[in-house]
Amino acid sequence: METILFITDLLAGSRISELAGVRAVAAEKGWHVEEIELYRLKQPIRTVLRYWNPVGCILEGSSNLLPPSKTFGRLPLVHIDPDDRAMKDAHVFSIENDDTTIAELAHRELAKADCANFAFVGWSHRVRWSRRRRESFARILSASGRSCATLEDPWTFGNKNDLVVRLKPWIASLPRPCGIFAVNDDTAAVVLDVCRELGLAVPGDIAVVGVDDNPLVCDNLHPSLSSVRPDFRKAGTLAARLLARRISNRNMKPQRMEYEPLGITSRLSTRRLAVVGKRVSDVLDIIRREACSGLKAAQVVKAMGVSERLAETRFRQATGRRITEEIAAVRLERVLELLRDPKQDIGPIANLCGWISDAYLKRLFRQRFGMTMREWQNRNAGERG
């Protein structure tokens, strides 16, 4: 069995979806996939290459392995979201985030939060995806005659205190209400911490959107974080298919492909409530976290600590929805996410998303979207290859 290597300099588990996309293609091609995490590697990468003797490699980040010709020679190589150093190679094959669409989704979400001013917190102007998101966001704002305050190169990698020190005076100086597009969820989390320290209301004074939609981060922040959801699985799929073409045709011309985000998950960092109340905010976070685990409206009412009638009244005043409608909306988001996988069976979806009755979900889905789940999947699922 031939082997390909998936090499990453990111932390373990951070690219599970990408790896799943790679493995799906590998199963078709009869490849063995070996994940190499550079943070855990104790021997030189060339030793690893000699040991596994791969037919090709997928490189996630890993700028310390550049230039590729020095490390990999003529071995077929595909980059996922490469940095500027990799892109200097005239022969690079890459799969990259569609940062323009990411910026558009962030802007749309912040505009819905009635922000009159906008700002961007980046990673580094030397990091390609950070720079591209900033440029796209600024271009969108410029088209409507608005400017974008920018804080880039805000910290030393691994030193959160650097970011906090620079963010405090900068955020305090922003005109309000202001919508901040943070380059990723980790950066957005620090933005929320600083807003809390400054006594700024979120999203009243500052609305915040991140990128990556990591539920372990987003759902556990206070308030919970709205975030753009990249299609990491598709990135892995596209990278593996491009690698397969490279392996079969060593003379093919370099290619650059983009993968669009799946959408945006709206949470409390951008959701302006008609009536601001801690109890409503708290149960909205509960619904976001637990709707797909079978959460019932009665449990939400109990968490609010008031009568059922009063709970429903306050919830509707704040959100414009009944409690059951909010639970269903969160579940349907998850349904659509599952259906975007062309290999997802329809049968278990109701149970995976918190419904007891499969028939009820099918009726609800047809009412909401005007088609069956199978029809929606056929129209909207990711690349089939």
Domain boundaries, the chain: 3-96+232-260, 99-229, 274-376
Helices 297-304 + 323-339 axis angle, to 10: 130
pLDDT at 281: 80
Lookup: tokens for 49: 């290459």
Average pLDDT in the 6-23 region? 78
CATH T-level assignment (fold) for domain 3-96+232-260:
Rossmann fold (3.40.50)
C-alpha 68, offset from chain centre: 28
Average pLDDT in the 112-120 region? 93
The yes-or-no verdict on residue 263 having pLDDT over 80 is yes
Work out the percent of the chain whose per-residue pLDDT is above 90: 57
Residue 14 pLDDT level (bands cut at 50, 70, 90): low
Contacts of 348 (CB under 8 A, 6+ apart): none
pLDDT at 11: 56
pLDDT digits (tens, 9 = 90+) for 301-332: 999 999 999 999 888 888 878 999 999 989 99
The reply to whether 99-229 shares the fold of 3-96+232-260 is yes
The yes-or-no verdict on residue 276 having pLDDT over 60 is no
**CB-CB contact of 307 with 346 (8 Å):** no
Residue 17 pLDDT level (bands cut at 50, 70, 90): confident
99-229 is classed in which CATH architecture? 3-Layer(aba) Sandwich (3.40)
pLDDT at 153: 77
Average pLDDT in the 78-84 region? 86
**CB-CB contact of 246 with 93 (8 Å):** yes
CATH T-level assignment (fold) for domain 274-376:
Arc Repressor Mutant, subunit A (1.10.10)
pLDDT at 325: 92
pLDDT at 318: 81
pLDDT digits (tens, 9 = 90+) for 123-169: 876 788 899 999 999 999 999 999 999 997 766 666 778 888 889 99
Mean pLDDT rounded to a whole number for the chain: 88
pLDDT digits (tens, 9 = 90+) for 30-71: 999 999 888 778 888 889 999 999 999 999 876 666 667 778
The yes-or-no verdict on residue 13 having pLDDT over 60 is no
> For residue 175, which phi and psi values (nearest 5 degrees)?
-70, 145
Higher pLDDT residue, 180 or 81?
A: 180
Q: What is the DSSP letter of 272?
A: -
CA-closest candidate to residue 255, choices 79, 130, 17, 376? 79
**Among all chains, which residue has been given the structure tokens 């791969």?**
54
Work out the percent of the chain whose per-residue pLDDT is above 70: 92
